[in-house]
């Protein structure tokens, strides 16, 4: 069953359980079926260890709701890290344990970065040697194989990455093809792709590929989605202030569906047939008061995708 949901933005709650409850109340009262929780927005992990007291408070709060849950692991987790790999593994495992304790079924993970965003300012633009990239990919694949085997109840969905001016390619997952290759290399049933619509649209504009064709090529690997809108204009990594970016339509806006230029209907129609995951809107906290408009726009788009798919299939059959 396909369920429509929304992520609670970590900056909106900033570890406050009353703020989390207020957000969950809004989503429940308006009929949302699913919610994505940011473990890093709840201070549930401290120095690689799960804070069980905080998680028990969370479990008590969540008893009042009947959502289906997914969990977003902390963005900086990087299984390619060469300095503190054990800590990054510990944080990811703690995120999975959190997911299990709240009965979530999906964990979102940002794939490994050759150069982490946190260290961009330390480096000039450069490209690592191919043999070093292969070793880093192998390091990540090995860790994810071990983790996937240890936690078979959780589907780990690897999210395609957004590009940055000057520093890209900093991550193989800026393109869907290499991300699918890594998923196939890991070769576990509970390792899939989290298709981030905003990121793939930015990458398609930056690298000059067709977003619809790219998504169609990886459709069988898609296990989860992050749905939000933008105008496809890539920015430098240090540009963060939304009030300065939005007037120019720049960056990974995470706006409500319909506010930007992403061809949602074209992209969704490539994989909606057979997709069993959640449709998770991932809006910035500043847009939470427009969550219903985004939901209504997405609902209309999803409804229009089914007739389009039927027409396409009939055309193929008739033309055979």
Kindly tell me if the per-residue pLDDT of 313 is higher than 90. Answer: no
Distances (CA, A) of 116 to 73, 123, 157: 16, 10, 19
Name the one residue in this structure whose structure tokens are 């869907």.
176
pLDDT in tens, 30-88: 999 999 999 999 999 999 999 999 999 999 999 999 999 999 999 999 999 999 999 99
d(CA 305, CA 316): 17
Torsion of CA 168, 116, 14, 63, to 10 degrees: 100
Longest dimension (CA), the chain: 62
d(CA 161, CA 198): 9
User: Cα-atom radius of gyration of the chain, to the nearest Å?
Assistant: 19
SS3 247: helix
What class, spelled out in words, does domain 4-319 have in CATH? Answer: alpha beta
The pLDDT, as a whole number, for residue 310 is: 42
The pLDDT, as a whole number, for residue 243 is: 97
Determine whether 157 is exposed, middle or buried from the number of CB atoms within 10 Å of its CB (0-12, 13-18, 19+).
buried
224-233, 258-267, 300-309: range with lowest mean pLDDT:
300-309
Tokens of 166: 């000057």
Averaged pLDDT for residues 235-258: 97
Domain ranges for the chain:
4-319
pLDDT in tens, 261-304: 999 999 999 999 999 999 999 999 999 999 999 999 999 999 99
Average pLDDT, the chain: 94
The pLDDT, as a whole number, for residue 198 is: 98
pLDDT band at 308 (very low <50, low <70, confident <90, very high): low
d(CA 59, CA 98): 10
- Phi then psi for 226, rounded to 5 degrees? -120, 120
**Which residues lie across from 36 on neighbouring strands?**
7, 70
Kindly tell me if the per-residue pLDDT of 319 is higher than 70. Answer: no
Averaged pLDDT for residues 234-254: 97
d(CA 147, CA 136): 17
CB 166, CB 131: distance < 8 Å: no
CB 186, CB 145: distance < 8 Å: yes
Kindly tell me if the per-residue pLDDT of 216 is higher than 80. Answer: yes
The pLDDT, as a whole number, for residue 307 is: 59
pLDDT in tens, 115-127: 999 999 887 777 7
Between 130-150 and 176-186, two packed helices, what is the crossing angle to 10 degrees? 50
């Amino acid at each position: 069953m396909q369920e429509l949901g929304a992520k609670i933005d970590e900056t909106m709650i900033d570890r406050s359980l009353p703020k989390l409850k207020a957000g969950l109340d809004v989503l429940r009262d308006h009929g949302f079926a699913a919610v994505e929780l940011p473990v890093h927005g709840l201070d549930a992990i401290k120095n690689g260890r799960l804070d069980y007291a905080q998680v028990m408070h969370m479990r008590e709060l969540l008893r009042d709701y009947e959502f289906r849950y997914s969990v977003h692991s902390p963005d900086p987790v990087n299984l390619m890290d060469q300095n503190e790999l054990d800590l990054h593994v510990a944080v990811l495992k703690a995120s999975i344990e959190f997911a299990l304790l709240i009965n979530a079924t999906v964990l979102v993970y940002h794939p490994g970065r050759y150069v982490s965003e946190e260290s961009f300012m330390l480096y000039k633009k450069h490209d690592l040697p191919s043999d070093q990239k292969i070793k880093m990919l192998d390091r990540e694949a090995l860790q994810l194989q071990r983790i996937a085997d240890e936690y078979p109840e959780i589907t780990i969905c690897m999210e395609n990455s957004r590009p940055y001016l000057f520093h890209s390619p900093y991550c193989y997952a800026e393109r869907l093809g290499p991300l699918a290759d890594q998923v196939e290399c890991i070769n576990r049933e509970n390792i899939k792709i989290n298709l981030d619509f905003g990121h793939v649209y930015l990458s398609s504009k930056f690298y000059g590929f067709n977003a619809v064709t790219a998504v169609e090529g990886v459709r069988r690997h898609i296990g989860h989605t992050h749905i939000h809108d933008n105008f496809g204009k890539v920015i430098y990594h240090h540009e963060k202030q939304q009030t300065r970016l939005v007037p120019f339509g720049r960056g990974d806006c995470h706006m409500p569906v319909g506010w930007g230029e992403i061809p949602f209907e074209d992209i969704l129609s490539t994989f909606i047939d057979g997709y069993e995951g959640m449709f998770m809107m991932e809006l910035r906290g500043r847009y939470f008061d427009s969550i219903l408009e985004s939901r209504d726009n997405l609902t209309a788009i999803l409804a229009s995708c089914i007739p389009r798919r039927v027409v396409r299939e009939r055309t193929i059959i008739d033309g055979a």
